Amino acid sequence: MKTYIPEGYKSTLSVYDTQKAIGLMKRLFEDNFAGALNLMRVSAPLFVDGGSGINDNLNGYERPVDFEIAHSGIHCQVVQSLAKWKRLALKRYELYPGKGIYADMNAIRRDEDELDNLHSVYVDQWDWEKVILPENRNLDYLKSTVMDIVSALCDTQATMRALYPVLTALPEIDRRVSFVTSQELEDMWPELTPKQRENAYVKDHPTTFVIGIGAPLKSGKPHDGRSPDYDDWSLNGDIIVWNDVLGCAFELSSMGIRVNPESLDKQLTAAGCDDRRELYYHKLLLNGELPLSIGGGIGQSRMSMLMLGKAHIGEVQCSTWDAETVKTCEQAGVMLL
């Protein structure tokens, strides 16, 4: 998707009301979400030790922003997400099964493929992680957690619609979640790209969870890239809803049950990442020294776009944009923050 503004689009809320609504929406969702999953808020790092293996490798090709601390020589990286840091935090905080954490995560992803309506180099999301028991490492537990998150989204939207009646013109998020595997999507539409399959499916199933991201499908290609060292590729997925303003499938969350020593061992080899076995984080995990967990990220700006009916992510977050994007938005009367 290239940057474009839908014909006839006009922001439902003024810039002033947008800023107020974003702050309220975030507070409401945090309360609903933390209550549903039994999470407590914790402080999060902006950067981590570059040689620890703690930073998220995303798809494996994205370069983190790095720097060296003066006088100490410590090499640091700005986080790309907190996927691994959170699991270490669970160990440090000695949380019991069923209890977890969440944090405001701000990141820079300098190698974002394309800046458009949905993608920015600045990332803000709620990163969360929860300790689970061995018997929770199954699809039923994953699905139950997905439905809890969707309920929190819907409850937040209901309150926002009550406080801002103008938002009732936007479609409600469907509480009914359709679960489908990435292989089932490929079987249905082998001629389409993964994103095209998502659009085709989510249009008829407006709240969808796509299961199984990272492992090769029958075609030999994965549905999407996923680092081998946090999600178990058979027990993860994406929460995707239909965005009526943009007319497309709209990913809100990437999440999953995390790797245990066995699945990490398998996935590192499959991804050609055996060199990571010597990193601090990976050694702990392979030795069974980290708690079993489930976790993920929920996009704050994505949620703001959806609930406030915005056409461009720059309407709900401050970032830097290329000249073409700035010109397109200016011509359409869309204000980038």
Contacts of 273 (CB under 8 A, 6+ apart): 60, 228, 229
Picking from 59, 77, 58, the residue whose alpha carbon sits closest to that of residue 67 is 77
Picking from 144, 152, 147, 88, the residue whose alpha carbon sits closest to that of residue 126 is 152
Element (H, E) at 84: none
- Buried b / exposed e over 303-323, threshold 16 CB at 10 Å, is bbbbbbbbbbbbbbbebebee
In the set 186, 198, 238, 315, the catalytic residue is 238
How many whole angstroms separate alpha carbon 111 and alpha carbon 225? 14
Tell me the Cα Rg of the chain: 20
How many whole angstroms separate alpha carbon 87 and alpha carbon 131? 9
In the set 81, 234, 253, 254, the catalytic residue is 254
Contacts of 176 (CB under 8 A, 6+ apart): 207
In the set 127, 186, 229, 251, the catalytic residue is 251
In the set 30, 77, 81, 109, the catalytic residue is 109
**109 belongs to the catalytic site:** yes
In the set 30, 56, 127, 186, the catalytic residue is 56
**125 belongs to the catalytic site:** yes
**56 belongs to the catalytic site:** yes
In the set 77, 81, 120, 125, the catalytic residue is 125
**251 belongs to the catalytic site:** yes
By CB neighbour count within 10 A (0-12 exposed, 13-18 middle, 19+ buried), where does 239 fall?
buried
Helix (H, G, I), strand (E, B) or coil at 226: coil
**238 belongs to the catalytic site:** yes
- Catalytic positions are 56, 109, 125, 238, 251, 254
